[in-house]
Structure 1
Amino acid sequence: MSDRTVIFQLLGVTLLWGGNYVASAYLLTEFSPILLAFSRLVITCLLLIGVGFMSKKIAKPTRQEWVLLFLIGITSSLMYQIFYFVGLENTSAGNAALIIALSPIATAFLARAVLKERMTGYKLIGALAALVGVAIIVLNGGKVSGVSSGDFFILLAMLTLATSVLMIRKATMTLKSRDVTIYSTIIGTLLMAPAVGVEQLQGHLHFSGHPLPWLLLIVMALFAQGMAGLWWNNGISKVGASTSAMYMNIPPFVAILVAHVVLGDPIRLAQLAGGALIVAGVMVSIIKKKHRIEGKSCHGAESEAWH
């Protein structure tokens, strides 16, 4: 698979995820959050199992790989989905998208802590700029002063997403990205089943009685979660965690535009200012990365990416 194909896949992921924020905000008016997350995962699992049968050859993971797959399932499928939908129920689609856009910076910090990756001054400046951007968003994007519970859960979702990126990168060093996606999604779905029972016992479970929301749920599960998940994990395996994460600056602007057109959400100055700071912070790190790699190449040194 060519680099150009991978880039187009990652761009496709950002467009699907940008629209997914708005679609999810609408679906939360028809479904309870845990049931919505679980239903989407079940549909995604059916798609991925079909992909596995069509490929006719799925690797048998080692014990160490099973541990990684289990952790990916917990973070990317279970925790991220729960935090995301619970948070989105109490914040706007635009705010959620912009907070999730902090994931490239969080990925860089986690890579430094876990993989001992060097944190340059440019990366630190970029991280601080992005953090200021998120602070502006969560303090000015809601109807009340301060940080709302929805913003807090979206921040937790962002952190689990950043954590999962590192583990996906490590798992795809020995397993195909397709197999990682299939196994981890099935694991996360099975682990989420008890949470649906808890939601039912608490009396919070509800679902739509109309066909249109169910149709939208199926479409988003197949494309924004299933197909996008395959493309996302493949991108991480081909170009690395940090390079893939940089594409997360695109979904916020897609989400804000779609939310404005479809849901009538206002485009606030704070959202634009916060988003600009996030993108600027991420771009500072990326530009420095490119210069450093080009410099190595000119001197005949090893030109490897910093993922």
Structure 2
Amino acid sequence: MLRFLLHTERGVLILLTLTAVMWGGNAVTAKYVVGELPPVTTAFFRFAWVSAILLTLAWRVEGAKCLPERRQLPGILAMAATGIFGHNFLVYSGVKLSTATNMSLFAAVNPVITACLAAVFLHERLTGRQMLGVALSLMGVVTVITRGDASVLTGLSFNFGDILLAAAPVAWAVYSVVGRRVMRGMSALAATAWASLAGTALLLAAALWEGFDGAIALSTVGWAGMTYMIIGSGVIAFYWWNQGVTVVGPSRAAIFMNLIPLSGMFLAAVLLHESISAEQAAGAAMIIGGVWLTTQRP
């Protein structure tokens, strides 16, 4: 069963779906945690534990084979700078100045940016059907976020925070494309572990600049949320994501990012008893249809 999930195309598509669900839950959980800790400090503490756990697992599973070679270090550092440090710093800093709606809209273009970079640097090509799936999924995300009300888009205002949010999908796309190359020579587990460790060092520098003094004061709910962010949406989700990129490529994996607002919508309905409109249900169907089209092979 484990081999099927980690090493077959159908298996990793299941894992990528579950990853999107966990990252959708992360958005809800982080809302509580960043209310008690500064944003960058939260990201640093999270990835400090993520990297420690992943490195321990990598050593137990692979032994000395998990150690990166010198030629792999530039790629690992690029993954750390873009996906671990850059993406987190841009999202957390941007949303402080912008809105959650703007953040979700900018994140929705992630599959498009990833597909473009993968086409240029990895020579990956999407078929017409797959490009239709990307477009359909993007329309679904916009419908879910706006609840089918076009006036939400016309009423949006933009500031410096939106510039940061617009750069975040680019950072994630670079992380996925570079990661595909790095993981041709090492396992997804080892690559995720070393990239997390290097990214943690960068996040520590930013946290110190933010005013971090070494104290981590969280309530019981805050610690529960942080534990989920470390284990669920951290260790497990990042490993599954990189394994998915290894098997199906960054272009097809990126489309699953559009399931994040969908999972967040359903989690909000279940946990916060928020209602789901007919327009949002239609948007959800568009997202699912777009993901299905994009993940089909020619």
Identify whether the pair has TM-score above 0.5, normalized to the shorter chain. Answer: yes
Partner of 1:35: 41
Partner of 1:111: 118
Distance in 1, matches of 2:132 and 2:14, equals 29
Shift of 1:47: 1.1
Alignment counterpart, residue 57 of structure 1, candidates 44, 56, 64? 64
Shift of 1:54: 1.9
Distance in 1, matches of 2:75 and 2:209, equals 27
Query: AA paired with 2:123?
Result: K
Distance in 1, matches of 2:217 and 2:153, equals 27
Cα gap change, 1:149 to 1:26, in 2 (>3 Å)? farther
1:56-91 CA-partner distances (Å, limit 9, x unpaired): 333333333111000001111100111222234443
| Equivalent residues of 2:105, 2:142 under 8 A apart | no
Shift of 1:34: 0.7
Q: How many residues align?
A: 286
Deviates more, 1:79-88 or 1:146-155: 146-155
Partner of 2:109: 102
| Equivalent residues of 2:20, 2:257 under 8 A apart | yes
| Equivalent residues of 1:18, 1:252 under 8 A apart | yes
Distance in 1, matches of 2:117 and 2:30, equals 28
Structure 1 gap ranges (5+)? 293-307
Distance in 2, matches of 1:242 and 1:97, equals 19
Shift of 1:157: 2.0
Alignment counterpart, residue 76 of structure 2, candidates 69, 86, 101? 69
Instruction: Report the secondary structure of 1:36's partner residue.
Output: helix
Deviates more, 1:59-68 or 1:71-80: 59-68
Cα gap change, 1:147 to 1:9, in 2 (>3 Å)? same
Partner of 1:234: 243
Partner of 2:267: 258
Q: CA RMSD in A?
A: 3.4
Distance in 1, matches of 2:113 and 2:94, equals 19
Instruction: Report the secondary structure of 1:58's partner residue.
Output: helix
Q: How does 1:100-249 map to 2 (within 5 A)?
A: 100-118=107-125, 121-122=128-129, 137=145, 145-147=156-158, 151-200=162-211, 208-249=217-258
Shift of 1:237: 1.4
Alignment counterpart, residue 91 of structure 1, candidates 99, 102, 113? 99
Deviates more, 1:21-30 or 1:6-15: 6-15
TM-score (norm 2): 0.79
The yes-or-no answer on 1:20 pairing with 2:26 is yes
Shift of 1:11: 2.7
Distance in 2, matches of 1:240 and 1:121, equals 17
Partner of 1:82: 89
| Equivalent residues of 1:83, 1:154 under 8 A apart | yes
TM-score (norm 1): 0.77
Identity level (%): 26
| Equivalent residues of 1:18, 1:251 under 8 A apart | yes
Shift of 1:284: 4.7
| Equivalent residues of 2:141, 2:258 under 8 A apart | no
Query: AA paired with 1:108?
Result: A
Shift of 1:244: 2.2
Distance in 2, matches of 1:44 and 1:20, equals 14
